A and B are shown apart, each in its own frame.
Chain A
Amino acid sequence: MLSRRTIVQTSLAGGMVAALAGFAAFASWFPKPDREEQETGWRRIGWPFPRDAFPAGRAWRRDGTEVYVRPKLGFCGNCETGVVEDSEVDRVSDVDLLDASFVPAGEGRRIQITDLVGRSRVYRIKKDGRDRLAQGIAVSFKCDLIVAVAVGPVDDEAVAKAVRRFLETNTVQVWLNAQLEGK
């Protein structure tokens, strides 16, 4: 039979551990912004999607726009041509994580992020019960893919350009390079 004192002490210790774990989780959900994040205004947020076939990516938010990025190693449909079809953007760009019933808003177009080339396409999605726009992006290096999806007013060319520029910053590129093992 445990004494009352032991029970109280154990409960307090358990509570402290839970509080610390909660704080750690909270801190990882809202990581400290790096210098470039502070300059550009993009703030890191937690990766909100459940575990799937690929390691979790990283996500950022600025004003009304969110960007989700991750590499998909060995997943390019054609290692020689890279991403050249809209249907490949449909398949790989993670837009289905936001809404499995996404609908393309039009034809896609060629995109270049740093020296990687691929395609992007805008979709109509439902997120949190609201109609939103999302831009799926897929660029490749040999057989590896870098995919991103931006949610927000991405039909506005200024927003789309800001997303593209952010994807080219060190904040994103240094992390991506680490994931790609320096490829």
Chain B
Amino acid sequence: MTRQWLWIGACLLAASPALAQQQKIGAPPESSNMKLVGWNDLQARSAYQPTIHKQGNRYIAYIGHHGGTDDVAMPVNPMTGKPENNGTSIVDVTDPAHPKYLRHIPGAPGTYEAGGAQMVRVCDGAQLPKGDKSAVYLLRTFGGEAHEIWNVADPGNPALLARLDGLKDTHKSWWECDTGIAYLVSGAPDWRTRRMTQIYDLSDPAHPVKIRDFGLLGQEPGATGQVPTELHGPISTGPEGNRVYFGYGTNKGGVIQIVDRKKLLEGPKEPTPDNLRAPELGRLLMSAWNGAHTTFPMLKMPIAEFANDKEGKTRDIVMIVDEAILNECNEPRQMIWFADVTIESRPTMISSWTVPEASGHFCERGGRFGSHSSNESMAPVFYKKVAFIAWFNAGVRAIDVRDPYHPKEIGYFIPSITDKTDKRCVKVDGKDRCKTAIQTNNVETDDRGYIYIVDRANTGMHVLELGGTARQVAGLK
């Protein structure tokens, strides 16, 4: 009889692998070739973008947050004892094993994407052409209504310097620290889209100077007809590379627009059809089922397979990361793509990669499964060798990108959940069916080779390092 029950139990277990895969509080993290170095709970705030900045002898992590949740709209800041709207966390990660929370700058009221201060970039005044040499400047969003510039030279005592407001949305901006040019993802009130680009000269961050508005033709004020996909974020290669790669879309209708930076900045500025068309060198239209959340350029990459070819030995590659939006796989798979943009007028998709769903039964774990974002640091330690992709309930994935025609995974880390990890729900027969799973939202790296991942479901920030054979790919000892 006992044997019979054991047999039935084993069958049930085999038939429901998702049950075995469901994350539980207290269970160890899942990993391969990546290990945990340190952790901070970020006051249990939903995290979006981390930026790691070397500030003198210190390494400081600045983390943007979404707004609070329906259950906890304003988490209490234990340092002040007061409830505060989610904003920006400032954490000293000089000793990555013991991250020290320094300060929380409150953000805009509102829950989830409607509030907080999701985005953050940092530049030294010493590098900016007209900055105060002793200052360190933080550019952040303030909900969907404004961009703000703070002096964080003393990261424990930030001071607000400037504010650009009156917007209908904001998102993932880009800031060139060597020139001060900022590509701010904004919603200008008169444009037909929620997110487009406002270009500012922030070489003196305390005194922003507007250069121009930019977007896809059809998004400009006064246009009629179909409205192209809204912007998600640009990445510039600066004056040296003279290119800006704009990514439009999150999980639908992705467009990658390749733009001549000089023409963009110095060309006629009125948003007329001709002026919007003029700086564009090429564009790649993705499937209607995928968007372009991040467009990460990896230019002049030597491709080993092409080493003996007379032409085309090196290729300009853009890694495109889609963003999964819906919980429990209620949408087409969002993943990463590699485009060869060497011939800019004819960019071509060359490969893609996804976490195998069956490797963790991720569609049944709860929350989102799919890619969201990549590290955006171009520090030599990982650049063009290893890319890290935040994959929501599949944690962070380390991808060997040395041959972008054949990307392959070399490691992963899925953090444990805690009692602070927020639930994610789907409707089943009209009722909420909720599960709790890690939701790794964003990832960034520093020039020492540490990897920082942050959780959308309030689990905090995990500092990681590569281990085993994955270290060899990056050339780490």
A interface list, Cβ under 8 A from B: 51-53, 73-75, 77-81, 85, 87-88, 90-91, 96, 99-104, 180-183
Contacts and interface: CB of A to CB of B under 8 A. Distances in A.
Interface in B381-433: 426-431
B114 interface: yes
B326 A79 contact: no
Contacts of B429: 182
Interface stretch (B17-25, B33-41, B97-105, B222-230): B222-230
A101 B111 contact: no
B113 interface: yes
Nearest to B431: A182
Contacts, number: 68
A80 to B, nearest CB: 4
Chain B contact residues: helix, strand, loop or mixed = loop
Nearest to B289: A53
Contacts of B430: 181-183
Contact of B224 (A78, A81, A102): A102
Given A102-B225, A103-B224, 6 more contacts: A77-B194, A78-B144, A80-B110, A87-B191, A182-B428, A183-B430
A90 B225 CA distance: 8
Q: Which of A52, A79, A80 has the most CB of B within 10 A?
A: A80
B426 A91 contact: no
B253 interface: yes
14 contacts: A53-B252, A53-B253, A53-B288, A74-B331, A77-B230, A78-B114, A79-B113, A87-B192, A90-B227, A96-B227, A102-B224, A181-B427, A182-B427, A182-B429
B71 to A, nearest CB: 15
A75 B291 CA distance: 13
Given A53-B288, A181-B427, A182-B430, A80 B227 contact: no
B326 A91 contact: no
B330 A73 contact: yes
A80 B428 contact: no
Contacts of B224: 101-104
Interface string B306-341: 000000000000000000011000110000000000
